[in-house]
A = this chain, B = another copy of it.
Amino acid sequence: MTTTQSAPARPAPDVSRLVVGVLGGTGPQGRGLAVRLAAAGQRVLLGSRDAERASAVAGEVAERAGGAAAPGVEVSVTGGGNADVAGAADLVIVAVPYDGHAELLAGLVEPLAGKVVVDCVVPMGWDEKGAYVLAVPEGSAALQAAALLPDSHVVGAFHHLSARLLEDLSHPEMDGDVMVVGDDRASTDLVQALAGRLPGMRGIYAGRLRNAAAVEALTINLVSVNRRYKAHAGVRITDV
């Protein structure tokens, strides 16, 4: 293609010591992100409504991540209630189903204050014709999070990663990019760097938070791709 700069002239932040909380960490998407990040050496706190279940799943995730991690990589996954995880983590990924999204975040305003909150929630409904996007009063799940968490830096990311492929550690690398949307440059830079910890993936800045809806809803198009092609589709951005 044409000659382009492949990245802005800004060093990626060091995220190696960042403690990452995953709310809804016992669901497929949260668990998949947790195991991949843990295998890459990220310290992970896995949150759930049910702290005991979170601890049990954290143990399984740690064992699987440990089996896949490179020699010398320290794997650390701890489970807990969502509120405890929100308070203890440096950065929090929200991976709950959309129907519990607003209620969960409304109860975590204080523990999430001042933190980067990464929303990967897709407002998706199903009917006899397949999957479709649900109308969100705020415009998107990410904008809903921003409205509920005025003291946090909300970023949208990690929507397009197949939970099945995330959990399949027999393939060390994944094929795809993480589209990152947000209004605070330091926060989007951080999330891009975190995405880059997933082997084979890049974090690509893809616009402001007001442009999150398309990134979220594209996941629903990927559901259609998966049905038609018997695939676990993701997205690569070309010419970057």
Q: Are B239 and A224 in contact (CB under 8 A)?
A: no
Q: Chain B residues near A224: list those with CB within 8 A.
A: 205-208, 211
Any chain B CB within 8 A of the CB of A105? no
Name the B residues within 8 Å of A230 (CB-CB): 4-5
Residues of B within 8 A of A176 (CB): 238
Give the complex CA separation of A105 and B89 in angstroms: 53
A residues 96-137 near B (Cβ < 8 Å) are: 129-133
| Smallest CB separation, A223 vs chain B (Å) | 8
Which residues in B have their C-beta under 8 angstroms from that of A131? 207, 211
Complex: A165 Cα to B240 Cα, angstroms: 14
A237 at the interface (CB under 8 A from B): yes
Report the stretch among A19-27, A29-37, A212-220 that lies at the interface: A212-220
Complex alpha-carbon distance, A233 and B202, angstroms: 14
Q: Interface of A with B (CB < 8 Å)?
A: 1-2, 4-8, 129-133, 162, 164-165, 168, 171, 174-176, 179, 181, 204-208, 210-211, 213-218, 220-225, 228-240
